[in-house]
Amino acid sequence: MKTLIAATLTAMTFLTAGLAEAAGNRLEFQNYSGEDVIEVHMRGPLTEWGHDLLGSRILEDGESLSVRRGNQCELDIMLVSGDGVEHVLHENVCAITGVELTDFGDTFHFSTY
């Protein structure tokens, strides 16, 4: 019986650690810009832009998107608004859990948290 309890506790510890690690590897985008975002791309230093993380989706005003941020900390993030304007943010994504987009005239204002 003690062996079964110890094995169960060990399994729960690994499961909890795995879930915490998976949750900690996510980056959330909150769109409060008043505009639709039609593309989201990320890239590391000296690399090409990655594929569109939205695919065929549109990130409408008021919606959010959660993406896996990968293993790199220093990333460029490009969001393309519905009018085709590219908005780029350079950020240490290991130090944040999310990005909030708000309207700032002709561009997005990025707030990180």
* pLDDT interval class at 7 (50, 70, 90): very low
Q: Residue 103: what residue type? A: D
Q: Answer whether residue 18 is part of any domain.
A: no
Number of domains within the chain: 1
Choice between 83 and 5, residue whose per-residue pLDDT is larger: 83
Q: Answer whether residue 11 is part of any domain.
A: no
pLDDT tens digits for range 25-37: 899 999 999 999 9
Q: Answer whether residue 65 is part of any domain.
A: yes
Cβ–Cβ < 8 Å for 69, 41: no
* pLDDT interval class at 24 (50, 70, 90): low
Q: Answer whether residue 7 is part of any domain.
A: no
The mean predicted confidence, pLDDT, of the chain is 82
- Element (H or E) spanning 23, and its range? helix 2-24
Q: What is the CATH number of the domain that holds 38?
A: 2.60.40.2890
Q: What is the pTM of this model?
A: 0.74
Q: Containing domain of residue 100, as a range? A: 26-112
